[in-house]
Chains A and B, each alone.
Chain A
Amino acid sequence: MTATAKRPDVDLSIEFAGIKAPNPFWLASAPPTDKAYNVERAFEAGWGGVVWKTLGEDPAAVNVSSRYSAHFGKNREVLGFNNIELITDRSLEINLREITEVKQRWPDRALIVSLMVPCVEESWKAILPLVEATGANGIELNLGCPHGMPERGMGAAVGQNPDLIEQVTRWCKTYSSLPVIVKLTPNITDIRVPARAALRGGADAVSLINTINSITSLDLDNMVAKPTVGTQSTHGGYCGAAVKPIAMNMVAEIARDPETAELPICGIGGISHWRDAAEFVALGAGAVQVCTAAMLHGFRIVDEMQDGLARWMAEKGYRSLSEFSGKAVRNTTDWKYLDMNFQTIAHIDQDKCIECGRCYIACEDTSHQSIAKLVDASGTRRYEVIEEECVGCNLCQITCPVQDCITMVPQPSDKPYMSWNEDPRNPFRETA
């Protein structure tokens, strides 16, 4: 008998928009899911599902050379990533054959096929039965590709037009029995509008976000952006850790919109480890898709993601994802509903303080002058919060390099909850 480590007794399996998967970690439609070889490796590594890189009509798209670029941190950590790749550059026939074979070999995994064809009914009517015949579990509509394809009237050109979203979704529901996930572009002003359009068209779910229009960096010697194709560049789709906050807000916006509150959401955008996934789920996502993190580290990261998520869930007493899915939505509200009587104040743990002075200068220069710098006779510095001046902005805590050295302490109050709507300081308050 081989030795086995104890694993948390937690069920990570999901059923999302009617699609079953052994875990919520899916690979997004992108280069890692372009062909059978990669997808096989992903399933072997343990990914719960895969959205096959977008299929289109023949002749297949043609890609340029030089395709990705990054927004680097100072230590070459990738903060954000972008690409100017188009949809699959392989023939429809090869893709369909491989999808069929892979699905047969991996019946327990979710295999969703991403699609993008011209915005005419005949095109969708033609491709949908072919996809359904592969045995795939669902389709995802790529209405968000921000580069190249919109110039041809596809991708984001559709996703930015609610009427077209509704129309295409309806065609898919008409000509296919598979669950339809509509992938939304963030390159719009209000994400609720395309989500509502998808729902009207009959979508089973939405997935978001697709990539954001971006220029990551420039080659200042040659005065051209990256990735550089010859002597030129073009904007690409931004993704990776940097886009996570944008994606989470958009997920939350849809989750707390009464019209779309029941619409399943697949969260996408900068998910790099289990905590990111847990956060998306807490904001209402039923599954998540990952791409950049896998492209940077390989498929093996799904091990740590599953293990970390399961241990955290066990610690919190959640036996399945549904037990905490959406739990943070009710606490996400409009500014006007925040409690005007709440007060939190910074506290500096003097035993943990290493006397770097970052909190002091941040507060002194750019915030509320609420930290005093004291120097004793021996030259030891001591930074103390001037509590009566502190507005609880969190800046000192953010700039402190030491974990848990500065904490924000909610102040006891005997005042009741009072929203801005009820606040006498609000000249436009709603009076009863």
Chain B
Amino acid sequence: MTDALSHLPRAGDGAALKAGFTDLHPPLTQRQAIIESQRCLYCYDAPCIEACPSDIDIPRFIREISEDNINGAAQTILEQNILGGSCARVCPTEILCEQSCVRNHDAECQPVLIGLLQRHAIDHMHFDGHPFHRAADTGKHIAVVGAGPAGLSCGHRLAMHGHRVTILEAEAKPGGLNEYGIAKYKLVDDYAQREIAFLLKIGGIEIRHGQRLGDNLTLDALQRDYDAVFLGLGLAASRQLGLIGENAPGLMPATEYIKTLRQASDLGSLPLARRCVVIGAGNTAIDMAMQMVRLGADEVTLVYRRDAEAMSATGHEQAIAKANGVRIVTWAQPKQVLIGDDGRVSGMRFARTETRDGTLVATGETLDIPADAVFKAIGQAFADDGLSDDRASRIARDGGKIHIDDSFRTSLAGVYAGGDCVVPGQDLTVQAVQHGKLAAQAIHQDIMAQQEVA
């Protein structure tokens, strides 16, 4: 996966590097959790619930923590969000629940640490078996394409309703971005797999790997073999810079590097750019820059064409990056990949930008940043090739993603979709979980209604 960087030196002592990839925010101790849980005001119609994309009853689970009822707290979370453990770790709580916490202002010191409390509840739950029942078998069999957060959430909720579920996954492991895309220091060790093992304990869910829509799988066949299909395809394509030299050694998508990093058994074996440039403004760009610093890079520069305020990475993420020594350069857009005599990337030339009458324009000045590697993190796009067979191509699109109605139905009867591949997608794990859950409800209602009619 990192072939484009095979000429670079290795990161070195993997054991020593490990420390840089432990939890960015360490878990709360029992004592800290109790103290923090006391800070929750148990608001009525709590703003944090409104802000949670997966509708978790936050005041309730925090009160349960404070009452020494950890299993109750965990169940409150999992009822709404079966991947509550990973969401507690990867959610940008600073723009969701914690932003809307009524204690999120100076007079109250700081918001209640909702994310860490959620993690505490899930980390310390102890159920005798799985905490949810699987309803009596309905005889229905649903295909879920994609074992990412949306597909897993959908599969679990369908199983709760008594349907048989087969999840078809292209990669060798389930989890989607939780397994392959999240910064390692946010979701450490094999947590993603352990969480999935827990989820699957409900029973009735089978995962088949190496199954890729548009390759060895067609929508036609799925519709023939299953009672309904859910597409949780994610955004598999990395956006291109559209510059000459984009395929030169030394330049690659950040997501692919992160994927390799997350799967590496020895961090020391990873290629390391002493000087690197990350192009982009989202959390993936920050994750990439941070991980390069932690692998031992000397200079990491993150470049964005607008100002810091316009970056989609939260202020919290930007602050962490800066504190870790990442240099953030704004008002510069990629102009040319600089290639050395050896044919490898030697840096990037950027055009200086500004806004004139609200439009971004080049000022005419340029900025060269020397680098051994350039990582592009300018966003992901829906990989259309998966939906290219006759039937699949009939599914209506909306700006390059899948169009759905309020009940997660695509334009093709019996086919549902959710997560990042649909239009309201926001690239949030927690939102994908919510989509999967709600789509499962819709699928259940639709097929049971059909059964009644029949």
Q: Which residues of chain A in 203-241 are interfacial with respect to chain B, using CB atoms and an 8 Å cutoff?
A: none
**B447 CB-CB contact with A under 8 Å:** no
Quick check: B43 and A358 within 8 Å, CB to CB? yes
- Cα(A292)–Cα(B234), bound, Å: 62
- Cα(A417)–Cα(B23), bound, Å: 67
Task: Give every chain A residue within 8 A of B50 (Cβ-Cβ).
Answer: 379
Task: Give every chain B residue within 8 A of A361 (Cβ-Cβ).
Answer: 44-45
Quick check: A356 and B34 within 8 Å, CB to CB? no
**B407 CB-CB contact with A under 8 Å:** no
- Cα(A424)–Cα(B232), bound, Å: 74
Quick check: B41 and A401 within 8 Å, CB to CB? yes
**B18 CB-CB contact with A under 8 Å:** no
**B103 CB-CB contact with A under 8 Å:** yes
Quick check: B44 and A357 within 8 Å, CB to CB? yes
Q: Looking at the assembled complex, report how far the CB atom of A274 sits from the nearest CB atom of chain B, in whole angstroms.
A: 26
* Contact with A75, one of B35, B43, B102, B108 (Cβ below 8 angstroms): B35
Q: Looking at the assembled complex, report how far the CB atom of B60 sits from the nearest CB atom of chain A, in whole angstroms.
A: 13
**B7 CB-CB contact with A under 8 Å:** no
Quick check: A357 and B35 within 8 Å, CB to CB? no
- Cα(A379)–Cα(B102), bound, Å: 13
Q: Looking at the assembled complex, report how far the CB atom of B334 sits from the nearest CB atom of chain A, in whole angstroms.
A: 38
- Cα(A175)–Cα(B391), bound, Å: 109
- Cα(A357)–Cα(B100), bound, Å: 14
Task: Give every chain A residue within 8 A of B42 (Cβ-Cβ).
Answer: 358
* Bitwise interface map of A from 288 to 331 toward B, beta carbon under 8 Å scored 1, else 0: 00000000000000000000000000000000000000000000
**A373 CB-CB contact with B under 8 Å:** yes
Quick check: B44 and A358 within 8 Å, CB to CB? yes
**A74 CB-CB contact with B under 8 Å:** yes
Quick check: A74 and B46 within 8 Å, CB to CB? no
**A26 CB-CB contact with B under 8 Å:** no
Interface size class of B (residues with CB under 8 A): 10 to 19
- Cα(A93)–Cα(B149), bound, Å: 78
Quick check: A354 and B35 within 8 Å, CB to CB? no
* A-B contact number at CB 8 A: 39
Q: Looking at the assembled complex, report how far the CB atom of A397 sits from the nearest CB atom of chain B, in whole angstroms.
A: 15
Q: Looking at the assembled complex, report how far the CB atom of B391 sits from the nearest CB atom of chain A, in whole angstroms.
A: 42
* Bitwise interface map of A from 37 to 79 toward B, beta carbon under 8 Å scored 1, else 0: 0000000000000000000000000000000000000110000
Q: Which residues of chain B in 31-55 are interfacial with respect to chain A, using CB atoms and an 8 Å cutoff?
A: 34-35, 37-38, 41-47, 50
Q: Looking at the assembled complex, report how far the CB atom of A410 sits from the nearest CB atom of chain B, in whole angstroms.
A: 27
* Contact with A373, one of B41, B45, B103 (Cβ below 8 angstroms): B45
Chain A residue with Cβ nearest B51: A379
Q: Contacts A74-B66, A361-B44, A373-B45: A356 and B102 contacting too (C-beta < 8 A)? A: yes
Quick check: B105 and A357 within 8 Å, CB to CB? no
* Contact with A357, one of B46, B103, B108 (Cβ below 8 angstroms): B46
Task: Give every chain B residue within 8 A of A402 (Cβ-Cβ).
Answer: 107
**A339 CB-CB contact with B under 8 Å:** no
Quick check: A356 and B66 within 8 Å, CB to CB? no
Interface size class of A (residues with CB under 8 A): 10 to 19
- Cα(A401)–Cα(B103), bound, Å: 10
Task: Give every chain B residue within 8 A of A379 (Cβ-Cβ).
Answer: 50
Task: Give every chain B residue within 8 A of A357 (Cβ-Cβ).
Answer: 43-46
**A262 CB-CB contact with B under 8 Å:** no
**A259 CB-CB contact with B under 8 Å:** no
Q: Looking at the assembled complex, report how far the CB atom of A103 sits from the nearest CB atom of chain B, in whole angstroms.
A: 45
Q: Which residues of chain B in 144-187 are interfacial with respect to chain A, using CB atoms and an 8 Å cutoff?
A: none
- Cα(A402)–Cα(B45), bound, Å: 18
**A355 CB-CB contact with B under 8 Å:** yes
Q: Looking at the assembled complex, report how far the CB atom of A325 sits from the nearest CB atom of chain B, in whole angstroms.
A: 38
Q: Looking at the assembled complex, report how far the CB atom of B376 sits from the nearest CB atom of chain A, in whole angstroms.
A: 36
Chain B residue with Cβ nearest A401: B41
Quick check: A360 and B41 within 8 Å, CB to CB? no
Q: Looking at the assembled complex, report how far the CB atom of A350 sits from the nearest CB atom of chain B, in whole angstroms.
A: 14
Q: Looking at the assembled complex, report how far the CB atom of A95 sits from the nearest CB atom of chain B, in whole angstroms.
A: 42
Quick check: A75 and B46 within 8 Å, CB to CB? no
Q: Looking at the assembled complex, report how far the CB atom of B66 sits from the nearest CB atom of chain A, in whole angstroms.
A: 5
- Cα(A358)–Cα(B102), bound, Å: 11
Q: Looking at the assembled complex, report how far the CB atom of A204 sits from the nearest CB atom of chain B, in whole angstroms.
A: 46
Quick check: B102 and A74 within 8 Å, CB to CB? no
* Contact with A356, one of B35, B37, B41 (Cβ below 8 angstroms): B41
Q: Looking at the assembled complex, report how far the CB atom of A200 sits from the nearest CB atom of chain B, in whole angstroms.
A: 50
Chain A residue with Cβ nearest B104: A354
Quick check: B44 and A354 within 8 Å, CB to CB? no
Quick check: B38 and A356 within 8 Å, CB to CB? no
Taking A75-B34, A357-B44, A401-B41 as known contacts, 15 extra A-B pairs with beta carbons closer than 8 A to each other, sorted by chain A number, are A74-B34, A74-B67, A75-B35, A355-B43, A355-B47, A355-B102, A356-B43, A357-B43, A357-B45, A357-B46, A358-B41, A358-B43, A373-B45, A381-B45, A381-B47
A-B contact pairs, 21 of them (CB 8 A): A74-B37, A74-B66, A74-B67, A75-B34, A75-B38, A354-B102, A354-B103, A354-B107, A354-B108, A357-B45, A357-B46, A358-B42, A358-B43, A358-B44, A360-B44, A361-B44, A361-B45, A373-B45, A381-B45, A401-B41, A402-B107
